[in-house]
Amino acid sequence: MSFSLPQPAYVLLGTFLLWRLLKNVVLARTRNLNHIPTIGLCSKLPWPLDTLFYYAGLVEYTFRCHALMKEGYKKYTTYGIFKVPAADWMCVVSNREMIEDLRKAPADTLSFYAAVDIELEVASTLGQNVTNHPYHLNVLRNQVTKNLGTLVPELREELGLSLDEFLEVPKTGEWKSVHVASRFADVLGRSANRVYVGAELCRDPGYIKLNVQHTNHVLKSAIILNMFSKLLKPAVSYWLRDVPKSIDREMKYLHRLIDDRRQYLSSTYDGSPEKPNDLLMWLMEEAKGDEQSDRNLALRVLALNFAAIHTTSMSLGHAIYHVAADADLARGLREEVEAVVSEFGWTKHSISKLVKMDSFLRESQRVNGLGSLLMGRLALKPFTFSNGVTVPVGTHLSVAIEAVHSDPTNYGDDVDEFKPLRFLACESQPLGDQQQQENRPLTSTSPEYLAWGHGSAACPGRFFASTVLKLALGQILMSYDVKTADGRRPENMRFGKYTLPNPKAEVLFRRRESV
């Protein structure tokens, strides 16, 4: 059976491609990026031919981004910057000094939020106030982090319950094959929302499904909207209904909770019953003006779920693939967890003593990460790096983090080897000895380690995410044996700048006899 588009569709598609091509020719000239070297197919052509062949370069970027970043990083480490055709020309920073320049640049010159606005089409997906007034990040950075000690028991309880429910491993001692990519999103979505909205709502299957799927709706809408001019975006956005439907459904789920919590904020509140200790309550205490509406509170909760669920589940997926393929690694990590928990129980303090797990997770993020590029910025003003290279207004910037993480200068000649205890100065250090870890815990950032970003825009939820990852991995190690069917780690999948734990792979789980 053959399939063909109607004639008007070909005309529209051809007109769109021609418009984007001409736009890129004009922007390349007006932004004056000719002094920034190009990597890939377009690098072989002089201006304006490189821009005329922009789409060929874009296809190459989509399928070879990882290789292109390594090539550009190696070739232009001294110059410190190169460009590739992405949604627009992307200028990629590629040495330590310029990464520090990027970190230190004022937000009104190189803006993280402006870059997010464009990439995610925030006005139509997450809501413009999410980046214009990101007070929810301060709540995450301060309130959630400050309360981690009291939240650990709740998180552990919810992780245990959700692992039982979503993995469905039989109690008969049989092996169960689990598609971890989808199951971990449910497990971590439910556990995160225990902190976000409390025990009752986080256990509603419909609510968790909504928040897990919302990320896909946002990304799909952003990709489509990025294809159109600013003039056409409102019309196109009108027909993209998945995100508005998610917002409406989130409001319905949260409406009763919001109303209940408003009594705690009223002047007549007498201190009984006890005030909820969750993120929704903290958001409502911080919200001002219109941000107090049900809709805007729902948008904040959706935005935090968008930021947390898939990134954390991907990190856990990468880690589990390593553990399942290496019995000695699983055994060593389990022994540390059992020893620490038997002495200190499950607390924030005991989690800080899981130094071998900390190093393992840090190494997993170094080797796998979430993608080839991070630390996106948009130049709102002309910016000159410390080596004299200037980028004009409108320039999209990013950092080749995978290339940084695989640089022998940063990590030695064994940089391509996966070493779970790489970040321990002494692999045989005593149990719970943090002295060797003080400068390099999982949550720390540096120009050589960029898994969380770096500087003021580094992930504000990394302390919460780190705690969830360690609790989840510890719970799995103590409750289950894990292995892959062939004894090998499933290969990562790459698409564009993203690095995903193999979305089709399955891991075998078996309940441990001692549990």
Question: What pLDDT does residue 10 have?
Answer: 54
Question: What pLDDT does residue 29 have?
Answer: 45
- For 157-194, write each residue's pLDDT tens digit: 999 999 999 999 999 889 999 999 889 999 999 999 99
Per-residue tokens: 335: 């022994």
d(CA 349, CA 152) in angstroms, rounded, equals 10
d(CA 112, CA 105) in angstroms, rounded, equals 10
CB neighbourhood size of 336 (10 A): 21
Helices of type H across 287-354 = 294-324, 327-344, 348-352
Question: What pLDDT does residue 2 have?
Answer: 40
CB neighbourhood size of 502 (10 A): 16
CB 452 within 8 A of CB 445: yes
CA distances from 244 to 167, 230, 299 (A): 31, 20, 10
Per-residue tokens: 219: 């990304």
Question: What pLDDT does residue 96 have?
Answer: 93
CATH (residue range 129-370+408-447+451-511) = 1.10.630.10
- For 378-419, write each residue's pLDDT tens digit: 999 999 999 999 999 999 999 999 999 999 999 999 999 999
- Residue located via tokens 């970003």: 453
d(CA 302, CA 218) in angstroms, rounded, equals 10
Per-residue tokens: 140: 């995450």
Question: What pLDDT does residue 4 have?
Answer: 45
CA distances from 171 to 5, 59, 156, 369, 505 (A): 53, 48, 20, 34, 23
d(CA 381, CA 389) in angstroms, rounded, equals 14
Question: What pLDDT does residue 432 have?
Answer: 43
Measured in degrees and rounded to the nearest 5, phi and psi for residue 32 equal: 55, 65
pTM: 0.89
d(CA 96, CA 449) in angstroms, rounded, equals 11
CB neighbourhood size of 453 (10 A): 19
Q: Which residues does 295 contact at the CB level (< 8 Å), separation at least 6?
A: 247, 251
User: CATH 1.10.630.10 region(s) of the chain?
Assistant: 129-370+408-447+451-511
Regions of the chain where pLDDT drops below 70? 1-31, 45-52, 229, 425-439, 514-515
Question: What pLDDT does residue 8 have?
Answer: 58
65 is in an annotated binding site: no
Question: What pLDDT does residue 317 have?
Answer: 96
Per-residue tokens: 451: 């898994």
Question: What pLDDT does residue 322 have?
Answer: 97
Per-residue tokens: 196: 């976000």
